[in-house]
Amino acid sequence: MGAVAARPELRRLGLADPAGRWEALGFAVHADIMCLGGASLQLGLPGDGIVGWAVSGLIGDIDGLPSLLSPHRPAGALPHPNGAIGLDHVVVITPDFDRTAAALEQEGLALRRTRETPGGIRQGFRRLGPAILELVQAPAQTEPGPARFWGLVVIVEDLQALAERLGERLGPIHPAVQPGRRIATLRASAGLGQAVAFMDPAS
């Protein structure tokens, strides 16, 4: 009987934001690395927003999504003063859902679930170890081009405490799509180069 192939896992995200911007939001950063659950975020890289990812077993780019070299697990995670404990999901947007979904499948990252919202937004999901990949195509995004990283959602122990800590930098708390959970989105005034939201832990 042959060996069972290991499931692909998100190991690292590369971001252009300097460490100081994340530290100002209550994250613990060491040597430009920030650990969130089983994944690490490498900060201060050239580019804008989320500039790439490292997924175990993945070497090349996927439909324009850059792959970082030398994926690794964080050696040790410092506790975050803002109560962050992990990544819930990473969001990728595409002008061509079927094309990007097929490219993901070809690299062993086939979507496990898809849905279409009442507003006509197509979404696809699959777990990559410590976080979920969410692929999104909105009807208004018709310009041709590659897929791109759009944002991420961080899990925090106490969303209300985070709201009090961040003040006007965080939008209002409201129910998330996931039953029993709440979410709040970081405002542009926080100065990050990608969309960031915070959620309650799953019950």
Q: Which has more pLDDT, 42 or 72? A: 42
Half-sphere exposure (Cβ direction) of 74: Cα atoms closer than 13 Å:
22
Answer yes or no: are the C-beta atoms of 83 and 161 closer than 8 Å.
yes
Q: Residue 14's pLDDT is what?
A: 96
Q: Look at strands 10-15 and 50-55 and give their pairing.
A: antiparallel
Query: Lowest mean pLDDT: which of 12-16, 140-144, 150-154, 163-167?
Result: 140-144
Report percent pLDDT > 90 for the chain: 78
Strand-pair partners of 36: 39
Report percent pLDDT > 70 for the chain: 91
Half-sphere exposure (Cβ direction) of 27: Cα atoms closer than 13 Å:
29
Q: Which has more pLDDT, 66 or 70? A: 66
Q: Residue 6's pLDDT is what?
A: 72
Q: Residue 4's pLDDT is what?
A: 44
1.20.1260.10, 3.90.170.10, 3.10.180.10, 3.40.50.1260: which CATH number matches 10-199? 3.10.180.10
pLDDT in tens, 83-121: 999 999 999 999 999 999 999 999 999 999 999 988 888
